[in-house]
Amino acid sequence: MRKEYKLSLIIFISIFIFDQFVKYAFVNFSWEVDGPYMSLKLAYNYGVAFSMFAFLQEYLKYIQLVIALVATIYLVKNKEIFYKYFIPISILYAAGLSNILDRFTYGAVVDYFYWHYGFEFAIFNIADVMINLAVAIIIIMQILEAREEKKKKSKS
């Protein structure tokens, strides 16, 4: 097994299990805490980001599974993309599939971080943060690659 696959699996399992553990704890052990800037408060998101598409609540888990399956097929057919971006892809899959599992387990995504200092922000979870981190890593990698290509072109 290639080292990328091994590391990818370790990243995936670590993030997935940690995220599910924290969500389970919020649902079952009432970890709620009120703070002056941010609170930990259990909430269920029946939609996607900022509760958009909540009207699709019953179908979102299946729609998201199909998207994950299509993405997996794409990565299997384009292995060079996986090898290039395996770290953010592993993070993205772990977080995304953890949120999908919530939909099957709890009927919605379990959220608990609630920012309320200066303005009220959407309630979110660790998986949401990981999804944003993965996307940011991909964007940074793309920017660095574009700069490197520009340097090579300017030298020739």
Percent of the chain with pLDDT over 70: 98
pLDDT, average across residues 108-119: 91
pLDDT digits (tens, 9 = 90+) for 82-102: 999 999 999 999 999 999 999
User: What letter represents residue 116's amino acid?
Assistant: H
CA-derived radius of gyration, the chain? 18
* pLDDT beyond 70 at 4: yes
* pLDDT beyond 70 at 137: yes
Residue, of 32 and 1, whose pLDDT is higher: 32
pLDDT of residue 3: 92
User: What letter represents residue 4's amino acid?
Assistant: E
Give the C-alpha separation, 94 to 99, whole Å.
9
111 belongs to the catalytic site: yes
Work out the pLDDT band at 7, boundaries 50, 70, 90.
very high
> Quick one: 96 exposed, middle or buried, by C-beta within 10 A (0-12, 13-18, 19+)?
buried
pLDDT of residue 1: 67
19 belongs to the catalytic site: no
Domain segments of the chain as ranges:
3-155
Work out the pLDDT band at 5, boundaries 50, 70, 90.
very high
pLDDT of residue 38: 92
- The whole-chain average pLDDT of the chain stands at 93
CA dist 130 → 59, 105, 146 (Å): 23, 20, 24
pLDDT digits (tens, 9 = 90+) for 10-67: 999 999 999 999 999 999 998 889 999 999 999 999 988 767 778 888 889 999 999 9
